[in-house]
Amino acid sequence: MSPVDVQPPSPFTVDDYLARGRRVVAAAAEAGLAGVLVTPGPDLVWLTGYQPTAITERLTVLVLAPDQEPTLLVPALERPDAEAAEGVRGMRVLDWADATDPYRAATPLLRADGTYGVSDSAWALHLLGLQGALPRTTYRSLTHGLPMMRAVKGADELARLTVAGAAADAAYGEIVKVRFAGRRETEVAADLAGLLRHFGHEQVDFTVVGSGPNGANPHHEAGERVIQQGDAVVLDFGGLMFGYGSDTTRTVCVGEPTQQIRDVHEIVRLAQEAGVAAALPGARCQDVDRAARAVITGAGYGKEFIHRTGHGIGVTTHEPPYMVEGEEQPLVPGMCFSVEPGIYLAGRFGVRIEDIVTVTETGALRLNNTDHGLAVVE
Amino acid sequence: MSPVDVQPPSPFTVDDYLARGRRVVAAAAEAGLAGVLVTPGPDLVWLTGYQPTAITERLTVLVLAPDQEPTLLVPALERPDAEAAEGVRGMRVLDWADATDPYRAATPLLRADGTYGVSDSAWALHLLGLQGALPRTTYRSLTHGLPMMRAVKGADELARLTVAGAAADAAYGEIVKVRFAGRRETEVAADLAGLLRHFGHEQVDFTVVGSGPNGANPHHEAGERVIQQGDAVVLDFGGLMFGYGSDTTRTVCVGEPTQQIRDVHEIVRLAQEAGVAAALPGARCQDVDRAARAVITGAGYGKEFIHRTGHGIGVTTHEPPYMVEGEEQPLVPGMCFSVEPGIYLAGRFGVRIEDIVTVTETGALRLNNTDHGLAVVE
């Protein structure tokens, strides 16, 4: 079991970060926004490489707007940490001290009558503070105002996602060799986490092991249930490698599967194929959902497919674009997202199959490439 | 080095959670709020024991209001996880499905003209969604609308904070025996994390090791600097034990301290004493800050004390009440917070001393009780 043989990618440079910021400003102007307010979290990591030690009640915000230098406002005592980040080196840094009003410090950076995009995960505390300080300024979440801000990946990002996907695949290649029957879900989950780290992940975000009836709860993680002979087991796992996400799901069977498990698995496999096939440049996000859902509905399990078909992935494992009914965003080469239909039979078992794909000029390319058949484990 | 001998406290029951909810509804009404909206994070943990696997773009919100059953709105696919939480057992649970509008699902729970308190860390995405769905409803962050919601601890909570503090003290008692000189800050930080776990913490949140000039940055965590003979080293560490926080700081010296380090340390020690002495029931939060700051300012280091004096602690290590100029909230028995003045001499060294205290009928009681003198380490 040798580690995946990968060279660490070159770190992003201050120029990479500044170029992203310029693209965001241009896209914001095109979307009718006066600018973008970015708070700590994935947007800020992507635009600066800066991740505060903790996300707290103290306001940190990056303001990107036309005709204005990119400006990061930080708590005074976090200034040295912020200035140490690669992307911040190319930006103006302002600070505010405890016992002063951070929203007043932010107002000179904003137009009093502008509409700004704001990070989805910005705290309500801060949004309400800004709304109070500038009553005529309005805000839109970036998911609604600029949903595709991080959606189209550059080659340097795609390379990282590809490596992360290959590492997750290597982990799957090993997990099917371990013993399932008679062990607790949490034990197999711990094996999975260890494998992800072994193959290069610096962070494990989730290791779902949903055996038997637990597999019918799509958000079950892993519990104390002892896995039984004959169980279908949903394995859904991922994390970050070189700062970019992996997320893949396979459903395996402990010993010989029943005909029902075989049938349901095959329907999900075909639905996943259909979803991937629909991920063509110019198609809409909802088309991917519709294609996968049509297969499952046609087979009579429409009501048992209780979630959307996919989500984007990048510096997080869950981000726009969403493959969901009503999402009319056209697919663009460079977008990366999951295609993960499932069927959940309450009280019995569940089946889900998931790959990350990237849209190319000619169609979707899978970043997960382990076998889609129903693996039999011991 | 034996573990702290503690019995795990009895878990909180559904009745404990419901009683908290009733107190919140009463306090909200008194504060002129129509109710309280609680999103995943510490407020929700405190009110229900429920912590979703991940905090995502999918809306989860608990609505507490008079004349209305406590109601938790969750994404359909997270419903089983939510219902498994102890506190949720006593509540109504509603769900919304992917591809439907979660904000529309929330509106029947809210008064169209009410003002609601909302969790500080609620996502801007969700607040903007609610503001869009109910344009006449208004919101206040809980920090401003109901800042003391979790501030006064019950006996069952104080018991947990006391145990967490004792465990952190035990970790300090061991860390002063390890070698500092010639080792990297990150190595001592790893020792500290291991000690916190050894003494019973289930989660380590921070292990600051700020040696020499790094100690002058109050938010420095631990880096690759090799600790030198003669360094002052700020050790600030904490995490969660039985769900409740610890947070304590001592500054040690590697070998014999210079007279300047001794002098600065003594000023900070006296300032910390003064802050604790000022934490009387009926005093205001800012009085604690003023008392500590007066000592440091009087000694000529006012400009080098660049942060507030303290913060509350409970199910998080950072929450209201804040000991800061302008915070006029009176102290009430049962409040628990840090008293942590410091002096930061840029490019040279820093000194900080921190204890968690709880306000009693007669004054502050320390939950950290290791020696406040300048320990000399090797």
Give the helix/strand (H/E) hosting A43. Answer: helix A42-48
Torsional sign, CA B20, B75, A222, A260: positive
Task: Decide if B197 contacts B204 (C-beta within 8 A).
Answer: yes
Contact A129 B141 (CB under 8 A): yes
Estimate the crossing angle of helix B124-133 against helix A124-133, to 10 degrees: 60
Structural tokens at position A169: 């695949």
**Cα angle A223-A226-A232, degrees, rounded to a multiple of 5:** 90
* Amino acid at position B211, single letter: S
CB atoms within 10 A of CB A159: 16
Task: Decide if B82 contacts B74 (C-beta within 8 A).
Answer: yes
Across the range B41-48, mean pLDDT stands at 96
Each residue of B4-27: pLDDT tens digit? 567 788 899 999 999 999 999 999
Contact B318 A129 (CB under 8 A): no
**Shared domain check, B174 and B139:** no
**Shared domain check, B367 and B241:** yes
Sequence-distant (6+) residues with CB within 8 A of A260 are: none
Spatial distance between the Cα atoms of A218 and B48, rounded to a whole number of angstroms: 22
State percent of chain A over pLDDT 90.
90
Q: Does residue A9 belong to any structural domain of this protein?
A: no
The pLDDT score that the predictor gives to residue A5 is 64
Question: Which residue, of A87, A114, A145, is where some domain finishes?
Answer: A145
- Identify from B60, B219, B289, B306 which residue to disrupt to test chain A contact, counting A C-beta atoms within 10 A and taking the largest count: B219
Contact B124 A129 (CB under 8 A): no
Across the range B100-129, mean pLDDT stands at 96
Q: Does residue B90 belong to any structural domain of this protein?
A: yes
Higher pLDDT, A77 or B5: A77
Q: Does residue A8 belong to any structural domain of this protein?
A: no
Contact B325 A99 (CB under 8 A): yes
The pairing of beta strand A61-64 with beta strand A71-75: antiparallel
The pairing of beta strand A61-64 with beta strand A35-38: antiparallel
Q: Does residue B2 belong to any structural domain of this protein?
A: no
- Tell me the three-class secondary structure of A211-279, residue by residue: EHHHHHCCCCCCCCCECCCCCEEEEEEEEEECCEECCEEEEEEECCCCHHHHHHHHHHHHHHHHHHHCC
The pairing of beta strand B375-377 with beta strand B248-254: parallel
* Out of A199-208, A231-240, B4-13, B263-272, least confident range: B4-13
Task: Decide if B337 contacts B357 (C-beta within 8 A).
Answer: yes
The pLDDT score that the predictor gives to residue B56 is 81
Q: Residue B369's domain is classified under what CATH number? A: 3.90.230.10
**Shared domain check, B215 and B124:** no
Each residue of B361-375: pLDDT tens digit? 999 999 999 999 999
Residue pairs between chains A and B whose CB atoms are closer than 8 Å: 121
Q: Rounded to a whole number, what is the distance in Å from the CA of A40 to chain B's nearest CA?
A: 12
Each residue of B206-236: pLDDT tens digit? 999 999 999 999 878 899 999 999 999 999 9
pLDDT reading at B3 higher than 70: no
Task: Decide if B352 contacts B340 (C-beta within 8 A).
Answer: yes
**Nearest by Cα to A334 from A167, A148, A143:** A148
Nearest residue of B to residue A121, measured between CA atoms:
B123
Spatial distance between the Cα atoms of B312 and B158, rounded to a whole number of angstroms: 13
Contact B125 A139 (CB under 8 A): no
Spatial distance between the Cα atoms of B42 and B48, rounded to a whole number of angstroms: 10
Across the range B293-321, mean pLDDT stands at 95
The pLDDT score that the predictor gives to residue B4 is 55
Q: Does residue B7 belong to any structural domain of this protein?
A: no
**Nearest by Cα to B100 from A326, A347, A10:** A326
A interface with B, Cβ–Cβ < 8 A, is: 53-57, 76-78, 80-81, 97-99, 118-129, 139-141, 143-144, 205-206, 217-221, 306-308, 318, 324-326
Structural tokens at position A196: 């992800």
Q: Which residues of chain A lie closer than 8 angstroms to B306, CB-CB?
A: 76-77, 97-98
The pLDDT score that the predictor gives to residue B1 is 64
* Out of A359-373, B26-40, B45-59, least confident range: B45-59
Percentages helix, strand, coil for chain B, rounded to the nearest 5?
A: 35, 25, 40
Contact A99 B326 (CB under 8 A): yes
Max Cα-Cα span within chain B:
67
Q: Does residue A6 belong to any structural domain of this protein?
A: no
Each residue of B64-103: pLDDT tens digit? 999 899 999 999 989 989 999 999 998 999 999 988 899 9
**Shared domain check, B272 and B126:** no
Q: Band the pLDDT of A98: cuts 50, 70, 90.
A: confident
Name which of A81, A124, A326 is nearest B118 (Cβ-Cβ).
A124
Q: Does residue A19 belong to any structural domain of this protein?
A: yes
pLDDT reading at B285 higher than 90: yes
Higher pLDDT, A346 or B7: A346
Nearest residue of B to residue A141, measured between CA atoms:
B125
Task: Decide if B51 contacts B40 (C-beta within 8 A).
Answer: yes
Each residue of B120-166: pLDDT tens digit? 999 999 999 999 999 999 999 998 999 899 999 999 999 999 999 99
On the 0-12 / 13-18 / 19+ scale of CB atoms within 10 A, B178 is middle
pLDDT reading at A4 higher than 60: no
What is the rounded (10 degree) CA torsion for B31, B34, B38, B43? 20
Question: Which residue, of B120, B145, B170, is where some domain finishes?
Answer: B145
The pLDDT score that the predictor gives to residue A75 is 94
Q: Residue A43's domain is classified under what CATH number? A: 3.40.350.10
Average pLDDT, whole number, for chain B?
95
Across the range A92-106, mean pLDDT stands at 93
**Shared domain check, A213 and A161:** yes
Task: Decide if A89 contacts B87 (C-beta within 8 A).
Answer: no
Q: Distance between alpha carbon B283 and the CA centroid of its chain, in Å?
A: 21
User: 3-state class of B241 per DSSP?
Assistant: strand
Spatial distance between the Cα atoms of A72 and A37, rounded to a whole number of angstroms: 10
**Shared domain check, A312 and A281:** yes
Contact A124 B129 (CB under 8 A): no
Each residue of A220-267: pLDDT tens digit? 889 999 999 999 999 999 999 999 999 999 999 999 999 999 999 999
Spatial distance between the Cα atoms of A134 and A63, rounded to a whole number of angstroms: 15
Q: E-strand spans in chain A? A: 35-38, 61-64, 71-75, 92-96, 115-118, 138-141, 203-211, 232-241, 244-245, 248-254, 310-312, 319-323, 336-339, 342-345, 349-352, 355-359, 364-366, 375-377
Q: Does residue B93 belong to any structural domain of this protein?
A: yes
Spatial distance between the Cα atoms of B257 and B215, rounded to a whole number of angstroms: 15
Number of domains in chain B: 2
**Shared domain check, A234 and A136:** no
Structural tokens at position A166: 């290959």
- Domain residues for the domain of B25 are 14-145
Across the range A152-159, mean pLDDT stands at 95
Across the range A24-51, mean pLDDT stands at 96
Cis peptide before A320 (omega within 30 of 0): no
The pLDDT score that the predictor gives to residue B39 is 97
Q: Which residues of chain A lie closer than 8 angstroms to B140, CB-CB?
A: 128
* Out of A56-60, B51-55, B116-120, B347-351, least confident range: B51-55
Contact B221 A57 (CB under 8 A): no
Max Cα-Cα span within chain A:
67
The pLDDT score that the predictor gives to residue A220 is 86
The pLDDT score that the predictor gives to residue B2 is 61
Give ipTM to 2 decimals. Answer: 0.83
The pLDDT score that the predictor gives to residue A13 is 96
The pLDDT score that the predictor gives to residue B273 is 96
CB atoms within 10 A of CB B26: 11
Contact B122 A124 (CB under 8 A): yes
**Shared domain check, A118 and A161:** no
**Shared domain check, A260 and A128:** no
Q: Band the pLDDT of A1: cuts 50, 70, 90.
A: low
Spatial distance between the Cα atoms of B323 and B328, rounded to a whole number of angstroms: 9
Name which of A98, A124, A126 is nearest B308 (Cβ-Cβ).
A98
Spatial distance between the Cα atoms of B334 and B161, rounded to a whole number of angstroms: 11
Give the helix/strand (H/E) hosting B210. Answer: strand B203-211
Question: Which residue, of B90, B121, B145, is where some domain finishes?
Answer: B145
**Shared domain check, A171 and A80:** no
**Shared domain check, A275 and A170:** yes
**Shared domain check, B174 and B128:** no
Each residue of B169-216: pLDDT tens digit? 999 999 999 999 999 999 999 999 999 999 999 999 999 999 999 999
Spatial distance between the Cα atoms of A333 and B72, rounded to a whole number of angstroms: 40
Average pLDDT, whole number, for chain A?
95
Task: Decide if B122 contacts B142 (C-beta within 8 A).
Answer: no
